[in-house]
Structure 1
Amino acid sequence: MGHNGADKIRVLVVDDSALMSRQITSILGEDSSIEVVGRAKDGLEALTMVKELQPDVVTMDVEMPRMNGITALKHIMVKHSVPTVMISALTKEGAKTTFDALKFGAIDVIAKPSRREDENLEAQKTDIISKVKRAAAIRTGRSRYIRMSASLARDEKISKGLPDSNTRFIAIGAGTGGYYGLLRIIPGLPAEFSDVLIAVILVASKYVEPFVSYLDAHSVIPVRTVSGPFIPERGACYVCSGDYLLGMENSHGALGVSAVQRTESEASINHFFNSLAETLSSRAIGVVMTGAGEDGAEGLASVRSAGGAAVVQDINNCMDPSMPIAALEKGTLAKVLPDYMMVDYLTKARAAEKN
């Protein structure tokens, strides 16, 4: 359940450093809509205080005595499902600990505030406050812990061959909060998945490779990084940075995907969705997920107009609902789903087609 917005957002701060705990409390206290209702010094104490105080949001450190933040997070997700934001020196973008935290249910991750010369403390304060407020607004599922499929080693993931006339192409566009959303979809796809999934996430290229490595290690289907043109295979997933423009190519009956560097004025999700619609029409499925801005709205409308399916993430389930809102405001007839229901929709829709 998300915070109703009528009362102050009640936050529990968890950190073994008294200095950092006070600093985070002070930062949150600068916003009149937030109230820190308690401070715990380790994960074990946090579990007791979550039960007693019933906060709207928890901020959680990772490395702590008695019980670390990741273990505490697992317990919170299973027992209470309270939106949790990890604030740690270990949770920087692209770090394994960051993806672990998201996998086990953290709404978002933030590096600890720092006064280093290259760090803007005011920007960090704004980031912490905004992410806590966003976390409070998100509607949680029954449990945010990701139940992942048992993974296979890379060399055990058998290719299903090139796409045929029955292969669907699922295109996902995501921005802010996209790591979280894709972690709820890609590792949940079953071994019998036989379509092609291509995701464009609006982050810098340098962060995509570690994210894909993490996804591949936790998935039964192959997950690959896109950094140039490629020939897609059935039953595989491809993840591309928004730094690239993808396009479908159909040469003598063989489908390929082009990839060129994006210029600043071009919208990478719209570009790919438009190309997908033009090339594949009814075999295309466009999915617009959490993110800032309007990228994907125009392209999703193109997919739908061409006879393909359109899916938009439920705005109450988004870290940033701007992209889904823009897609819906286009008047596109789309299926609206929270991230944790998308795997069922994509796989059951395919199963229904076969019966």
Structure 2
Amino acid sequence: MAYRVLVVDDSSFFCRRVKDILNQDRLLEVIGIARNGEEAIKMVTELKPDVVTMDVEMPVMDGITAVKRIMQIQPLPILMFSSLTSDGAKATLDALDAGALDFLPKKFEDIARNSKESVELLQNRVRTLAAKRGLVARRYSTASKTAFNSPGTTAKTQIFMRSSSVVVAPAASQTDVKESFSTIRRSSGKRYELLAIGTSTGGPVALQKILTELPETFPHPIILVQHMPGSFTKAFADRLNHNCKITVKEATHGERLVKGCAYLAPGGKQMLIEGSSRNATVNIVETHDQAHHLFKPSVDLTFQSISQVYAGNVLGIILTGMGSDGKEGCAALKQKGAKIWAQDEQTCVVYGMPQAVTKANISERNIPIFDIAKSIVLEMQIK
């Protein structure tokens, strides 16, 4: 049976093209089109789609408000279409905070010319998110009724729990979580000089969850590689910096890595780390001779460069994301003696990237997203 899709956009042309593209896939069926957020809410309750594609800017009711309402009344996966502007970046990040599962840049020219790459990307992304419908619904019905209202739950935690970038296992009690965490409490005693994290689909909220829990006294530099358009990364870094105790910034060419600062790779470029572990610097390049790396930025390329500078004194973590970017880079790090962890399947939006390092026996731990920050602090013996 095909996944049922609701398309929400005030552009008749865009709606028609998205509908045509999705209906070409035998596993997808567009069951309705809404012209604004208000219509979308009504059609979600009447048609009960498996997934929604949502524009950000619309008359009557914008996409962000619609996402918030939908996640309150009938939680389901939502894919945002966003413009490649700084305002579009902020709005998209707001939508992810509100509960949207993922986003794609809104490129009229690609939709119009029906390019194979754009068609396959949209179809694959909608299919992948639609398959998460049951997990999103269970997460909201379970987490919202229990942990969301439990004593000690902070406002930031509530915002995180509202976001569909994390799926909480409905069968797991608080006791289960504590028991599972107790098995990874003891530090290995290894010496570290760098933390490196790579992610893609679902990464923005997952990164926010981890980084907001790291202490101000974090003793090492942090490298972040998130698949994201170039116009989005500065806005994302600024948002993280505002919410975190550590410093977070979009990396710039030539700057020196310092402890307690997280460097986000700029979108649309490659970020390499050069020099020595005591004097490591950032090298931002437009292109790279390893042309098979399609992602800009590429987790593989960045992690491989880290292995040449920091050798094995690295904790590398792969979070939720589609594909296998990061597997080669993690293999290079592990060969030098680094430790590699992966986010567990149940809390991933897409288990592709963590699964790749897990199946290759590169990752030694698979950790739920809500335990990763604690695990980092304990493993690195941070006071």
Q: TM-score scaled by structure 1? A: 0.72
Q: 3-state SS of the aligned residue for 1:229?
A: coil
Work out the CA distance in 2 between the residues paired with 1:19 and 1:294: 34
1:159-174 to structure 2, matched below 5 A, reads: 169-174=194-199
Work out the CA distance in 1 between the residues paired with 2:203 and 2:333: 21
Q: 1:190 and 1:66, CA in 2 relative to 1: closer, same or farther beyond 3 A? A: farther
Letter of the structure 2 residue corresponding to residue 186 of structure 1 = L
Q: 1:309 and 1:74, CA in 2 relative to 1: closer, same or farther beyond 3 A? A: farther
Is it true that 1:256 corresponds to 2:280 in the alignment? Answer: yes
**Matched pairs, number:** 329
Verify the 8 A CA contact 2:93 2:236 in the aligned structure 1.
yes
Work out the CA distance in 2 between the residues paired with 1:117 and 1:10: 23
272-281 or 42-51, which deviates more: 272-281
Match of 2:26 in 1: 32
Q: 1:142 aligns with which of 114, 127, 139?
A: 139
Q: 3-state SS of the aligned residue for 1:95?
A: helix
**Deviation digits for residues 7-50 of structure 1, max 9, x if unmatched?**
32122223345565444333322222112334444323433443
Match of 2:290 in 1: 265
Letter of the structure 2 residue corresponding to residue 257 of structure 1 = T
Q: 3-state SS of the aligned residue for 1:142?
A: helix
Verify the 8 A CA contact 2:6 2:34 in the aligned structure 1.
yes
Misfit runs of 4+, over 6 Å = 90-94, 144-147
Verify the 8 A CA contact 2:50 2:130 in the aligned structure 1.
yes
Letter of the structure 2 residue corresponding to residue 199 of structure 1 = L
Q: 1:94 and 1:240, CA in 2 relative to 1: closer, same or farther beyond 3 A? A: farther
Match of 1:99 in 2: 93
Q: 1:219 and 1:354, CA in 2 relative to 1: closer, same or farther beyond 3 A? A: closer
RMSD (Å) for aligned C-alpha atoms = 4.1
Verify the 8 A CA contact 1:44 1:66 in the aligned structure 2.
yes
How far is 1:170 from its partner?
1.3
How far is 1:326 from its partner?
2.9
Work out the CA distance in 1 between the residues paired with 2:208 and 2:105: 20
Verify the 8 A CA contact 2:312 2:336 in the aligned structure 1.
yes
How far is 1:84 from its partner?
0.3
1:1-355 to structure 2, matched below 5 A, reads: 7-17=1-11, 20-89=14-83, 95-112=89-106, 114=108, 116=109, 120-123=113-116, 124-138=118-132, 139-140=135-136, 142=139, 148=156, 169-175=194-200, 178-179=203-204, 181-187=206-212, 189=214, 191=216, 193-202=218-227, 207-241=232-266, 243-247=270-274, 249-250=276-277, 254-259=278-283, 261=285, 263-265=288-290, 269-270=299-300, 272-274=302-304, 276=306, 283-291=313-321, 294-304=324-334, 306-314=336-344, 321-337=351-367, 339=369, 341-347=371-377, 349=379, 353=381
128-137 or 295-304, which deviates more: 295-304
Work out the CA distance in 1 between the residues paired with 2:103 and 2:211: 20
How far is 1:59 from its partner?
1.5
Q: 1:81 and 1:118, CA in 2 relative to 1: closer, same or farther beyond 3 A? A: closer
Q: 1:312 and 1:247, CA in 2 relative to 1: closer, same or farther beyond 3 A? A: farther
Verify the 8 A CA contact 1:229 1:256 in the aligned structure 2.
no
Q: 1:45 and 1:188, CA in 2 relative to 1: closer, same or farther beyond 3 A? A: farther
**Deviation digits for residues 214-245 of structure 1, max 9, x if unmatched?**
43344343112222233333332111245132
Match of 1:3 in 2: none
Q: 3-state SS of the aligned residue for 1:327?
A: helix
Verify the 8 A CA contact 1:87 1:111 in the aligned structure 2.
yes
How far is 1:85 from its partner?
0.6
Work out the CA distance in 2 between the residues paired with 1:345 and 1:81: 30
How far is 1:58 from its partner?
1.3
Verify the 8 A CA contact 2:273 2:309 in the aligned structure 1.
no
Work out the percentage of aligned pairs sharing the same amino acid: 31
How far is 1:107 from its partner?
2.1
Work out the CA distance in 1 between the residues paired with 2:83 and 2:199: 25
Work out the CA distance in 1 between the residues paired with 2:327 and 2:5: 34
Letter of the structure 2 residue corresponding to residue 259 of structure 1 = N
Verify the 8 A CA contact 1:91 1:110 in the aligned structure 2.
no
**Deviation digits for residues 174-223 of structure 1, max 9, x if unmatched?**
34554454344435545454543211235565653343234334434311
266-275 or 29-38, which deviates more: 266-275
Work out the CA distance in 2 between the residues paired with 1:304 and 1:349: 16
Q: 1:110 and 1:269, CA in 2 relative to 1: closer, same or farther beyond 3 A? A: closer
Letter of the structure 1 residue corresponding to residue 129 of structure 2 = A
**Deviation digits for residues 63-96 of structure 1, max 9, x if unmatched?**
3344321012123334543110113557899732
Q: 3-state SS of the aligned residue for 1:257?
A: strand
Letter of the structure 2 residue corresponding to residue 246 of structure 1 = I
**Deviation digits for residues 123-159 of structure 1, max 9, x if unmatched?**
444433222112123454835999648xxxxxxxxxx
Work out the CA distance in 2 between the residues paired with 1:57 and 1:194: 42
Q: 3-state SS of the aligned residue for 1:230?
A: coil
Q: TM-score scaled by structure 2? A: 0.68
How far is 1:327 from its partner?
1.6
**If each structure's helix is expressed as a fraction of its own residues, which one has the higher value?**
2
